[in-house]
Amino acid sequence: MSILTELEIFINEASNIYEEFNIDTIRVEYSKQHKKSKLDDLGRWKKINANDRKILEQLKKNLTVDKVTSAYQLDNHNIYYYNSSTPPKYNKATMVIFGLKQYHKEPPPRELIDNILNILTFGTSKLNINIDVCIDLSDEPKLDKLRCYYNVVPCVIKGYKTDTSYINKPNITMVEKIVFYNKQFKNDLDFPLWRVEAKIEIPNRKNLSLAYPLYEFEGIIELIK
């Protein structure tokens, strides 16, 4: 069974209310030793121009300590890896696969994702992985209902509030951050759509339990509907 399928099964089994939970992003930290040559066989990895702020900001999304020093994209897919300045420098990298749940274009090929994850996890007993679990709503989230329980922070760009907000420290086991944003605006869709994402850390894939974080995430969604 592929790792992606395994994660999806865990999410479906842990969901109490919703069946619409999807994985939109996967991030895996790995050691490049013994991995780079196999990854190179999958296609052409082109270096991202340092001036391409949109891509670099996407890769740096949710980072706190790591600093992106260089980044590479696999062909034209939403599949990237970036090198970090975290010691030992250039020995570790982070693979980012995003856009798995989209409406305006096709996601990265499933078989390719499986191949990448198999390469990164082969011979590795421990896996530093986190995923963005998302649900899409047709109506704008009622965030005022959350402010009694969480510190909901609006995203401000150049002094203007955007229609993106965060709960940076929700104090939920395994959940690092929750994001609310206007997906219709972001992807220029012709129908209203709001996305809610929870960034979930997976400390131990062999003993994975998503029941508690997804239960809490479902509670937040019930409040904002």
As beta bridge partners, residue 28 has 95, 129
Q: What is the pLDDT of residue 44?
A: 95
pLDDT value at 64 more than 50: no
Q: What does DSSP say about strands 160-167 and 92-98: parallel, antiparallel, or unpaired?
A: unpaired
Sorted by where each begins, the domain ranges of the chain are 3-224
Cα–Cα separations (whole angstroms), residue 123 to 36, 80, 93, 115, 198 = 14, 22, 17, 14, 29
Q: pLDDT band at 51, cuts 50/70/90?
A: low
pLDDT tens digits, 115-172: 999 999 876 656 788 999 999 999 999 999 999 999 999 998 888 889 999 999 899 9
Q: How far apart are CA 21 and CA 11, in angstroms?
A: 7
Cα–Cα separations (whole angstroms), residue 24 to 2, 4, 136, 161 = 16, 11, 11, 25
HSE of 26, CA atoms in CB hemisphere, 13 A: 23
Q: What is the pLDDT of residue 163?
A: 92
Give the three-class secondary structure for 177.
strand
pLDDT tens digits, 95-120: 999 999 999 999 999 999 999 999 99
As given in the structure block, the two tokens for residue 224 are 């904002």
Q: How far apart are CA 164 and CA 143, in angstroms?
A: 11
Q: How far apart are CA 224 and CA 213, in angstroms?
A: 17
As given in the structure block, the two tokens for residue 57 are 């900001």
DSSP 123: T
As given in the structure block, the two tokens for residue 206 are 């062999």
**Cis amide linkage into residue 109, ω under 30° from 0:** no
Cβ pair 30, 95 in contact under 8 A = yes
